[in-house]
Chain A
Amino acid sequence: MVSAAADEQRAAILETCREALAATAPLKRAAQASIDELSELDRQILVERHLISRELSGAKNGSGVVISPDQTISVMINEEDHLRLQVLRAGFQLKKAWAAIDALDTALEDCLDYAFSPTLGYLTACPTNLGTGLRASAMMHLPALVISGQMEKVVRAVNQLGLVVRGLFGEGSDASGSIFQISNQTTLGESEDTIIKRLGSVLHSIIEHEINARARLVENDAAKLQDKIGRAYGILQHSHLLTSGEAMNLLSLVRLGADLGYFPEDSRSLVDRLFIEAQPGHIQHVSKSDLDPAQRDSRRAGHLRTEFAAFPAPNFLNGADAKPQNDN
C-alpha cells in the first residue's frame, strides 16, 4: 500500500503500472506524467478538469497520472491506493462509464496483481473503499432546487439511501454554481451493478424534483426568475471584476436560462466550457505573468465579457419546460 511504501518501491510501482496501462487499448497513446514533473499550475488545471484528485496533486515523488487522448479516462498511480481508475462521461451514462472502466480493469489484470480477499473484496488502503472499491458519481446542475431552498431536503433524502451529496449549499451564496456531485458512499456488500442501478434511480428522481422546482418557479415567480437570469447575463457582459464564486453563480443562472429556452439551445455548451475556464488555474494559465487574486478577478471578468459580447440576449417569451442536462 502506498502509505507504507518506500520511495524506490513507489517508483517501481509507478513504472509497472505505466507499462501495464500502456498495454491496454484505450491508453495506447495516452499522455503520462509524474506528479513531480508537473508545475503547480499544471496540477491545478488537472484538478479543475477533474482529471486528478487534490490528494494526487499534493503527492510526493513516485506518483503519476495517465490520461487518454480524449481525456475521458484518467488513471492515478500511487494516490491513496496504488491504482485509481477513473472514467468520465458527459450526460447520463453511468452504465457506459462502468462498462468502460470494467473493461479497462479486466485488461489490467493481465499484468497487475490486485490485493483481493474473497470476503472483503478489493483490499484498499482505507476501509471505507473496501469491496468493489467503486465510486460512481454524477455531477448535477440543480439551480431550481437551490433557488427554492429545497437542497437540504434533497440531501437528507439522498443520505437515507446511502448516497452522499457534495457541494456548497449555504444560504444566499451559491459559489459553486449549483453544481453537486452525488455518489455512493458504501462499497462493500453490494455488487457494482446494484450500486450503479441505485445511484441511477436516485439521479432520475432528483432530476424529476429539479424539473418540478423549475416548473414551479416559472409558474409562480417568473418575474423574479427572469430578473435573476437577465441580471446574470448583464453582469457577465459588462463587469470588470468577478470572483470565481460569483462567476459560477452567474453562469449557473445563464445555463438555467438556456435550459428554460430563454437562450438558444447550443449556448449551453459554451456555458459549460466557461464553467471550467473561469476557475483560478485556467485563468492563470492563459496569462503570461503571475496573477494575484484581484488581477485574476479582472482577467476572469475580461474573458467572460469577451465571450458574452456575442452571446444572444435572453428571449423571455420563449419559455418552455426544458429538461435539466447533467454530467457524470
Chain B
Amino acid sequence: MASPLKCNLCSKPATVHLTQIVNNKVHKVDLCEECAQAKGVTDPTGFSLSDLLLKASLNTEGSDTGPRCEQCGFTQNDFKKTGRFGCPHCYETFKALIEPMLDNMHKGTTHTGKVPQKALARKSLYDRLTTLELDLSEAIKTERYEDAARYRDEINQVKQAFGEKPAE
C-alpha cells in the first residue's frame, strides 16, 4: 500500500486507522476525519468495528448481475451498499457471497451456541400441519377417503400438540 492512505469509505486522505485481528488475520480500516466522525468512531459506545470492516470490504462498484432474493427482492448491491440483508432467506440467496467472508469475520463458520428449541419445535409442527392440510384436500379431491380420514386424525393430533402448550 502506497502512502498516503485513502479513506475506505470516501477515498479522501485517511487520518484514523483501525485494526482488528480475527483468527490471526489482520483487518484494517482507514478513515478520513469526517467519515470517522460520521461513523461514531470518536464516540466510545456508538460504533461497531466489525460492521465498519464489513462495509469497507464490500466493493460497491460494478453491475448488479447476481441473484435476487425471492423473498424480499434484495440484490447483491443492496447488501453491498448497506452491509445488511433484507430477510433471513437472503442468507441462502447470497450464500456464495457471504461464505468466504464469514471466515474472516468470525471464529468459525458453524453455530455452536444456543438453539431456540421451543420455537423450532413449534415451527416444525406448523410445517407438518401445512403439509397435512394440503395432503387432506388432495385426498378429498381424488376421492381417497381412507387416506383423508388418516390425514384428519393426524391433523387433530398435531393440533392437540399445539393445544397442550400452556398458552400464556
Contacts and interface: CB of A to CB of B under 8 A. Distances in A.
Contacts of A1: 72, 84-88, 90
A15 B40 CA distance: 31
Contacts of B119: 109, 112-114, 116
A132 B114 contact: yes
Contact of B22 (A127, A130, A162): A162
Interface residues of B, number: 52
A29 to B, nearest CB: 16
B85 A127 contact: yes
Given A106-B118, A185-B49, A186-B105, A126 B21 contact: no
Interface string A154-168: 001001101010111
A13 to B, nearest CB: 13
Interface stretch (A63-71, A117-125, A290-298, A311-319): A117-125
A166 B44 contact: yes
A186 B44 contact: no
B46 interface: yes
Contacts of B87: 1, 4
Contacts of B115: 116, 118
B109 A113 contact: no
Interface of B is mostly: loop
Interface in A68-123: 80, 102, 105-106, 109-123
Interface string B110-147: 11111111111011000000000000000000000000
A159 B91 contact: no
B106 A114 contact: no
Nearest to B126: A113
B86 to A, nearest CB: 4
A8 B72 CA distance: 16
Nearest to A54: B46
Contact of B111 (A132, A159, A180): A132
Nearest to A180: B44
Given A118-B111, A131-B113, A134-B113, A54 B40 contact: yes
B43 interface: yes
Contact of A119 (B23, B101, B111, B122): B111
A4 B43 CA distance: 28
A3 B79 CA distance: 11
A194 B101 CA distance: 22
A1 B85 CA distance: 8
Contacts of A186: 22, 50, 105-107
A162 B87 CA distance: 28
B54 interface: yes
Contact of A185 (B22, B83, B165): B22
Interface in B1-41: 19-23, 40
Contacts of A224: none
B161 interface: no
B126 to A, nearest CB: 9
Interface of B: 19-23, 40, 42-51, 54, 72-74, 82-88, 90-91, 98, 101-102, 105-120, 122-123, 165, 168
18 contacts: A4-B86, A109-B118, A110-B165, A112-B119, A113-B119, A114-B119, A122-B111, A127-B101, A130-B111, A132-B111, A166-B45, A166-B49, A168-B42, A188-B110, A188-B111, A189-B110, A189-B112, A191-B113
Given A105-B114, A131-B113, 9 more contacts: A1-B84, A109-B119, A112-B119, A116-B120, A132-B113, A156-B19, A164-B20, A190-B113, A191-B112
